Amino acid sequence: MTRWENYLLSAEHIVHAYDGALPLHHFLKTFFRERPKMGSRDRRWVSQLVYAFYRLGHLWKAGMPVPERILLGQFLCATQEDELLAFFRPEWNEKAGLPVTEKLALVSRNGQPPTMEGIFPFVSELSEGIAPQEFVPSFFTQPRLFIRVRKNKQDAIAALLQQTGVAFEWQAPDVLSLPNGTKTETIIPQRDWYEVQDASSRQTGRLFQPGPGQRWWDCCAASGGKSLLLLDQEPGVQLTVSDIRPSILHNLQQRFAAAGIHRYESRVLDLAQPVPPSIFGRQLFDGIILDAPCSGSGTWGRTPENLYFFRQEQIAVFQALQRRIAANVIPLLKPGGTLIYITCSVFRQENEAVVQHLCESTGLQRQAGGIIPGYMHGADTMFANVLVKP
């Protein structure tokens, strides 16, 4: 058996064994750890084939055998000819460098060409401003790695990248676009010079506009990317961070320490429940960042397994949670204060519909924001709105 056949067989084994319960990259780590004879090249090829399978989304999910689906995904994801395609599908390999849309036009099953809805069955659920004919094909392209430069270190970081031969582009004056997998921690040893942060996530910060001495609450803070963005804009902010997960707040503390941030309050809170009066007393906030739990559909280019396993009825579950959390934090907003509502979802029900509900049910007034499409330049797609309390 050739190594290409072994790679395809291993990828097929993984697809049959994987159920989506864990992030795919965690599952792959366990799989390879149990097979120490597989070298780095073997692991790289097998991982690539598995991800190619899931990048097809729901396309011919039920009727196409797994090995065929893996090879189709590899063809659509390829940017140039490769040895594996040359072995299994030489007729495809010759066309591997074509744009994705042209390659999609070359394939069919039982006489039926692929459709955008076949790959992404939730097209009708997309938020306004997302173009399906551009968004859906983006799943076949590996997203980029983005870093946000801090402390005006643009020239110093660019020099380090040039010395190591890493190709980069400036996505914004303080945002660098790098090939995915770039080992930034070894190239840029000064950890407080930058933060790994998606370009679209960085754009949400344009809506913050904090003032010195103001009290802000990042209420679903996760690892603290939005909080760091806020503090870099206005170091004089009095910051409170919270999350339901103590472990993720521990990660936030480590990240803040590496960035040189030490003045903030941290709380473990389940905001699906009303906030106990004893937590904040009579204190209110000038600004609340609600980076709400969501489907994460705007990031599925990085985690295509989530597209494969996602069910449409899950959208309503996330929407209900978002409404509940927002209803519990809005009473802690000062009159005239701002709620920054953020998701990394592409679904209207999680985005515009939630904002409309909050305006109708609480009297908040929508001020600015909308979809932040990232799929044209290898970034996530996000949604952010500023809502003001009268």
- Are 242 and 102 members of one domain? no
Question: Please, which pLDDT band fits residue 63 given cuts at 50, 70 and 90?
Answer: confident
Q: Is 270 among the annotated ligand-binding positions?
A: yes
| CATH number assigned to the domain comprising residue 333 | 3.40.50.150
DSSP E strands in 238-332: the ranges are 238-243, 265-268, 285-291
Q: What is the pLDDT of residue 296?
A: 98
Q: Is residue 137 part of a domain?
A: no
Over range 334-340, report the average pLDDT. Answer: 97
- Are 105 and 160 members of one domain? no
Query: How big is the CA angle at 308 (ends 302 and 314), to the nearest 5 degrees?
Result: 100
**Which of 383, 346, 338 lies closest to 364, judged by CA?**
338
| CATH number assigned to the domain comprising residue 189 | 3.30.70
- How do residues 118-155 score in pLDDT, each as one tens digit? 999 999 999 999 999 999 999 999 999 999 999 999 99
Residue 107 in contact with residue 30, Cβ under 8 Å? no
Say whether 344 is catalytic.
Answer: yes
- Are 287 and 179 members of one domain? no
Catalytic: which of 77, 220, 294, 344?
344
**Which of 90, 195, 102, 182 lies closest to 142, judged by CA?**
182
Q: What is the chain's mean pLDDT, rounded? A: 96
DSSP H helical ranges for 132-267 = 132-135, 154-163, 184-187, 199-204, 225-233, 246-258
Domain count, the chain: 3
**376 pLDDT more than 90:** yes
Question: Please, which pLDDT band fits residue 112 given cuts at 50, 70 and 90?
Answer: very high
Nearest-Å Rg of the Cα atoms of the chain is: 23
Q: Is residue 86 part of a domain?
A: yes
Over range 342-364, report the average pLDDT. Answer: 97
Q: What is the pLDDT of residue 274?
A: 96
Enclosing domain of residue 190: 145-196
- Are 301 and 217 members of one domain? yes
> Which structure tokens are listed for 241?
């961070």
Sequential DSSP letters for 46-85? HHHHHHHHHHTTTTTTTTS-HHHHHHHHHHHH-SS--HHH
> Which structure tokens are listed for 7?
């790679």
CA distance 284 to 280: 8
Helix or strand run (H / E) with residue 367: strand 365-372
Q: Is residue 10 part of a domain?
A: yes
- Are 214 and 355 members of one domain? yes
Number of helical H runs and strand E runs in the chain: 18, 11
- Are 87 and 208 members of one domain? no
Over range 55-76, report the average pLDDT. Answer: 97
Task: Give me the amino acid identity at 352.
Answer: E
Q: Is residue 119 part of a domain?
A: no
Q: Is residue 192 part of a domain?
A: yes
- How do residues 200-213 score in pLDDT, each as one tens digit? 999 999 999 999 99
Q: What is the pLDDT of residue 202?
A: 96
